[in-house]
Amino acid sequence: MPSLLVFKQENVYNRDMKEKYDLIIIGAGPAGLSAGLYGARAGLSCAVVEKAAVGGLATTTADIENYPGVKRTDGFSLCYAMMEQCTGAGAETVFSEAVGVDRTDGGFLVRLANGTSPSCKRVIITAGASPKKLNVDGEEKFTGRGVSYCATCDGAFFRGKTVAVIGGGNTAVEDALYLEKLAAKVYLVHRRDALRADRVLDERLKASAVTPIWNSVVHSIDGQDKVAQIALKDVKTEALNTVSVDGIFVAIGQSPNSEIFKDLKTDEYGYILTDEDMRTSVDGILCAGDIRHKSLRQVITACADGAIAASTAARDLL
Ligand code: NAP
């Protein structure tokens, strides 16, 4: 398995940016890498700007079985392949955080945390989404000391231990099934008595050793130096119940990383509104992937959005 360190040694990420591009793509998840691939192949000079690691949230998925043509893979491997294809087509990738986008006469300046502000004619925002927090007592204090938002990143620390996964969607069930292979005991805590997750995952969960705790929410997370227990509240009876755990994996959905794009129209949750060509409410700024208002957030729909956004930019410019 290739590592991000190898990426850096190969100097793929740390190329110096040019001052001008046709297209700057903000975020190197599946949407951004697909936009880079399509933009570069259309003949646009493209840079994909990434603040952290390639792949975004998709890299936190241990098993991907619904990306057509790839029977089974993990998020990191799939995104690594996308990254190689994107840069192989000629898109540049740059590690820095985009902190703002300013309009100029001919297009935009993208302000980066590294102090540079490259210009471009079109921007595609593919900044994705971040895991939501529970906002309960103890969550902040124990983050990194038993509270995690990424089972594939932190699961190995809980080998042979007891953990609870919170949530009832695809992420929570996938996380619980992944952790079941490592931990001695896995609870799945959900606020209702039916999962939101796909049926295939529901069936796998039923066939697993994961213990569901239905109709319950986390009231608080407690311990000394690290997590020792969680207090759960039964949503029907309001009774509090304590469960001893070494770790808690929060998988209750995501919020869009759209704070810096305040001028764009969004829905009530902050997801950016686009038309079917991925145009936002600001002329010249497009948007793709999980940060966009849409009904299905999957790797395949992120890739499709990215391809459409880059093709729209190419149609405008060529
Ligand atoms: P999600 O589908 O939004 O599910 C969030 C879950 O957390 C829901 O079960 C929700 O309960 C629960 N929840 C929300 N807020 C809560 C709170 N404050 N306290 C307790 N529980 C809370 O999020 P996700 O599972 O992260 O998935 C996000 C998107 O990625 C979805 O579109 C999903 O299909 C996609 N995804 C796909 C795959 C795949 O296809 N392999 C894998 C991972 C994610 P309710 O059900 O009661 O609302």
Q: Which of 306, 316, 318 is nearest to 283 (CA)?
A: 316
Residue 200, token pair as written in the block:
């295939």
- The residue behind tokens 């995104």 is 79
Nearest CA to ligand 1 atom 4: 169
What is the C-alpha to C-alpha distance for residues 299 and 301, in angstroms, rounded to an integer? 6
CA distance 239 to 177: 28
Residue nearest to atom 31 of ligand 1 (CA): 297
Consecutive 10-residue runs of the chain (318 residues): their mean pLDDT? 38 66 98 98 97 90 91 94 97 94 95 94 97 97 94 93 98 96 98 97 98 98 97 98 98 95 95 98 98 95 98 97
CA 259 – ligand 1 centroid, Å: 21
Q: Give the active site residues.
A: 150, 153-154
pLDDT for 4 equals 37
pTM of structure: 0.86
- Three-state SS for the chain is CCCHHHHHHCCCCECCCCCEEEEEEECCCHHHHHHHHHHHHCCCCEEEEECCCCCHHHHHCCCECCECCECCECHHHHHHHHHHHHHHCCCEEEECCEEEEEECCCCEEEEECCCCCCEEEEEEECCCEEECCCCCECCCCCECCCEECCHHHHHHHHCCCEEEEECCCHHHHHHHHHHHCCCCEEEEECCCCCCCCCHHHHHHHHCCCCEEECCEEEEEEEECCCEEEEEEEECCCCCEEEEECCEEEECCCEEECCCCCCCCCECCCCCECCCCCCECCCCCEEECCCCECCCCCCHHHHHHHHHHHHHHHHHHHC
Instruction: Please tell me the predicted confidence (pLDDT) of residue 11.
Output: 38
* Distance separating alpha carbons of residues 306 and 125, to the nearest angstrom: 9
CA 77 to ligand 1 centroid distance, Å: 23
Residues with CB under 6 A from ligand 1: 61, 66, 134, 166-172, 174, 191-192, 196, 217, 251-254, 297-298
CA-CA distance, 34 to 46, in Å (whole number)? 12
Q: Which atom of ligand 1 is nearest to the CA of 134?
A: 18
Among candidate residues 189, 181, 134, the one with its CA nearest the CA of residue 158? 181
User: Which residue owns the Cα nearest ligand 1 atom 7?
Assistant: 252
CB 216 within 8 A of CB 235: yes
Closest atom of ligand 1 to 172 CA is: 25
Nearest CA to ligand 1 atom 18: 134
Going from the Cα of 212 to the center of ligand 1, the distance in angstroms, rounded, reads 16
Q: Which atom of ligand 1 is nearest to 201's Cα?
A: 41
Rounded Cα gap, residues 82 and 95, in angstroms:
16
Q: From the CA of 245, how far away is ligand 1's center (Å)?
A: 22
pLDDT of residue 197: 97
The reported pLDDT for the residue numbered 16 is 65
Find all residues with CB under 8 Å of 207, minimum gap 6, and list them: none
